[in-house]
Amino acid sequence: MKVLVIGSGGREHALIWKIQQSPKVSHTYCAPGNAGIAEIAETVNLSASDIEGLARFASKNEVDLTIVGPEVPLTMGIVDLFEKSGLKIFGPSKKAAEMEGSKSFSKEIMKKYGIPTAAYESFTSKEEALTYIDRVGAPIVIKADGLAAGKGVVVAMTVEEAKAAVHSIMGEKVFGSAGNSVVIEEFMEGEEASILAFSDGKNVAMLPSAQDHKPIFDDDYGPNTGGMGAYSPAPVITKEMEKEILETIIIPTIKGMASEGRAYKGILYTGLMITDKRPKVVEFNARFGDPECQPLMMRMESDIIPVMEASTDGTLDKVDIKWKEGASVCVVMASKGYPGSYKKGQVISGLDTLKKEENVFVFHAGTKESGEDVVTNGGRVLGVTATGENVKNAITRAYGAVHKINWDGAYFRKDIGKKALERNQ
């Protein structure tokens, strides 16, 4: 079968890496892809947001299954468009993807169906938001309502920080129209983790736990990014807690969305705060997390294609998914200055030395080819991912590989997986 993957990041590289292990797949396309993806798949010069062009391409090239990586085409309605054209596609419909497209919508769903989350208020008026902050005080969390590439959240420890965030999001429009409204939430103390689940609209299949590292600097300091690294499993989520998450969060969410006439198919990403040993939802995303996808794909033993087909066909209850024992760790290498401004076009060295390394794979994100060289082309450049018998072993392998790669201005956090090591001691 022919498969098309939409996107250009580390998540899409990891998905293609896994998809190509399927005996069912004869050819893989990626639109638009990156330098690493171009080594293993046929890249197509189409933007992820050109949903009409992508539908025409899939139809003309008789693509059997399309997999959507990023959130933007999902919220634009790419799944609805493909299905109207008789094309099979993995991902939620436009109405279902609103779980990520609007934080106020997802909070309303959680409130209606009793899904544990932080108390909140939504505001379309900057003045009303500022008055509310004066009334409730800090610490408090300010979120741009719409899509902001994982960066539209400010954890404000003081009233001044909270007001500055509102001015930035709603006044200066640093996230564009995503900041036309804000959600202001109570501050939850605890440790964050992620649980992803496949869904066919009725049935669900949970993936192993993972933990992302959002802030740019070690020990979770600095502004939020798209994610500076991840590992799986996350020991903060116990086996008992996994059962609780399934029964009190994931199943009620899928049932609730079905009741709303928004049957949720594809992958549901649940960002969690583990507070007082109880899980609460921080956010929902309508796609695989990036960088969580990278360690999860390296731990997935089963063929992913039948799982994705079952998710689109409503037969997920017929599929058994197997996972490898041990752990996997992804360290993101970024451009100096990210998540602010940064240089592009820096030549990357050391990639060839890792191509035959066992238990290590370098997933490309912000890269492109320039003559004979691979150069930087984004903020997050590479996701260096390794497996091991345990988290400690996987961390050692991942950082061993990171130190073999370099470019002018390469930056990475040095503490990915530290919380797992502390819990396992």
The tens digit of pLDDT for each residue in 311-321 reads 999 999 999 99
What long-range pairs does 366-372 form, CB within 8 A, spacing at least 24?
Answer: 366/9, 366/34, 366/335, 367/34, 367/35, 367/36, 368/34, 368/35, 369/35, 369/38, 370/345
Please tell me the least confidently modeled range out of 9-13, 272-276, 368-372, 391-395: 272-276
Give the mean model confidence (pLDDT) for residues 304-310: 98
Distance CA 109, CA 216 (A): 31
Does the domain made of 119-186 have the CATH classification 3.90.1150.10?
Answer: no
Give the mean model confidence (pLDDT) for residues 332-340: 97
Helix (H) or strand (E) holding 78: helix 78-84
Q: Crossing angle for the helix pair 159-166 and 126-136, nearest 10 degrees?
A: 170
Find, among 333, 338, 336, the residue nearest to 349 by Cα: 333
Give the mean model confidence (pLDDT) for residues 231-235: 97
Is the model's pLDDT at 3 over the cut of 90? Answer: yes
Distance CA 379, CA 340 (A): 8
Find, among 25, 28, 31, the residue nearest to 41 by Cα: 28
Look at strands 229-232 and 2-7 and give their pairing.
unpaired
pLDDT for residue 115: 97
Q: Which CATH architecture has domain 327-424?
A: Alpha-Beta Complex (3.90)
Residue with tokens 């997390």: 289
Is the model's pLDDT at 270 over the cut of 80? Answer: yes
Does residue 351 contact residue 405 with C-beta atoms inside 8 Å?
yes
Gyration radius from the chain CA atoms: 20
DSSP label at residue 249: I
When pLDDT is cut at 50, 70 and 90, the band that residue 151 belongs to is confident
Q: What is the mean pLDDT of the chain?
A: 95
pLDDT for residue 145: 87
Residue 394 sits at φ, ψ, to 5 deg, of -65, -40
Is the model's pLDDT at 352 over the cut of 60? Answer: yes
Is the model's pLDDT at 425 over the cut of 60? Answer: no
For 2-94, the fitting CATH number among 3.40.50.20, 3.30.390.30, 3.40.50.10420, 3.40.50.150 is 3.40.50.20
pLDDT for residue 281: 95
CA 131 → CA 84, 108, 119, 128, 140, distances in Å? 46, 22, 17, 5, 14
pLDDT for residue 291: 97
Q: Is the peptide bond before 233 cis (omega within 30 degrees of 0)?
A: yes
Does the domain made of 191-318 have the CATH classification 3.40.50.720?
Answer: no
Please tell me the least confidently modeled range out of 4-8, 145-149, 383-387: 145-149
When pLDDT is cut at 50, 70 and 90, the band that residue 150 belongs to is low
pLDDT for residue 178: 83
Most confident region among 8-12, 134-138, 171-175 by mean pLDDT: 8-12
Bridge partners, 66 (sequence order)? 4, 89
Give the mean model confidence (pLDDT) for residues 144-159: 84
Please tell me the least confidently modeled range out of 68-72, 153-157, 326-330, 388-392: 153-157
Over pLDDT 90: what percentage of the chain? 89
Show the tokens assigned to 112.
């209606």
Is the model's pLDDT at 344 over the cut of 90? Answer: yes
| The domains spanning 191-318 and 327-424 adopt the same CATH topology | no
Is the model's pLDDT at 277 over the cut of 90? Answer: no
Give the mean model confidence (pLDDT) for residues 154-175: 91
pLDDT for residue 179: 87
Give the mean model confidence (pLDDT) for residues 27-37: 98
When pLDDT is cut at 50, 70 and 90, the band that residue 224 belongs to is confident
pTM above 0.75, yes or no: yes
Residue 45 sits at φ, ψ, to 5 deg, of -80, 70
* Domain coordinates in residue numbering, the chain: 2-94, 119-186, 191-318, 327-424
235: CB partners within 8 A, 6+ apart? 391, 420, 423, 424
pLDDT for residue 276: 82
Bridge partners, 265 (sequence order)? 200
Is the model's pLDDT at 48 over the cut of 90? Answer: yes
pLDDT for residue 216: 96
Show the tokens assigned to 170.
């709603």
Which string of DSSP letters, residue by residue, matches 241-301?
HHHHHIIIIIHHHHHHHHHTT---EEEEEEEEEEETTEEEEEEEESS--TTTHHHHHHHB-
